[in-house]
Amino acid sequence: MRNTITETVTHVHHWNDTLFSFRTTRRDSFRFENGQFVMIGLEIEGKPVMRAYSVASANWEPELEFFSIKVPDGKLTKHLQKIKVGDTVTLSCKPAGTLVAGQLLPGKNLYLLATGTGLAPFMSIIKDPDIYDRFEKVVLVHSVRYCSELAYQDEILNVLPQNEFIGDTVKQKLEYFPIVTREPFHTQQRITRLLQDDHWHTKPSQDRFMLCGNDAMLKDTMQILDAQGYEKATSRSQGHYVIEHAFVEK
């Protein structure tokens, strides 16, 4: 296929029965901005099947990482979830996406609001040294149904703070806020309820948001932010909050 490259799978991790992640090799010429996505695919029955996946690794890391759901009858994921170390996957050459820091107006605090696998681009962003130069505080909110879906929790809480380059900054500026909605957990309030109740005491003059997750969350959260005076970033102008347009159902 034109405008694609092939990379080799180096690691696969199954978080539970519905979620998995994998890493691949990364050629030196492959460049991307933290928060962007690429098309990933396999050849199935002689035809390429490609889907958009946010890159979960940072742009300074030597390998590429992706986070995916397992859909039993999904045209791609029913095959992708079976990949093993040594297998190959196809990637588009040109990363794209609107879920990047440059889409936001300057601000004091950054809130990364994710549901499910919407966490992926934020894993890339919280490893970006530049994001901590832009903001005094970064709050990562990850809402899932069950505790087993809190992927990357150990990396966020224990591994990243020990990173030799950004660990100290992460300790000072990153706040992790996990939410579980269908099992006993210390935080069960949905993201939308927390915003409506003004849990974080946010205001447009200083706070910025990135949203990534299911369509219902995006729709409801945008309505709340709009009502509170926040403006969404567009292709022509920066805003108080930004979403990944490519993943929104038309």
Q: Classify domain 101-247 at the CATH topology level.
A: Rossmann fold (3.40.50)
In the chain, where are the structural domains located? Answer: 4-92, 101-247
Per residue of the chain (250 residues), what is the pLDDT tens digit?
578 999 999 999 999 999 999 999 999 999 999 999 999 999 998 888 999 999 999 999 999 999 999 998 989 999 999 999 999 999 999 999 999 999 999 999 999 999 999 999 999 999 999 999 999 999 999 999 999 999 999 999 999 999 999 999 999 999 999 999 999 999 989 999 999 999 999 999 999 999 999 999 999 999 999 999 999 999 899 999 999 877 654 3
CA distance 18 to 117: 11
As assigned by CATH, the class of the 4-92 domain is mainly beta
CB atoms within 10 A of CB 250: 3
CA distance 89 to 24: 8
CA distance 98 to 56: 15
Alpha helices in the chain (DSSP H): 77-80, 120-125, 129-134, 153-154, 167-173, 191-196, 215-227
pTM above 0.85, yes or no: yes
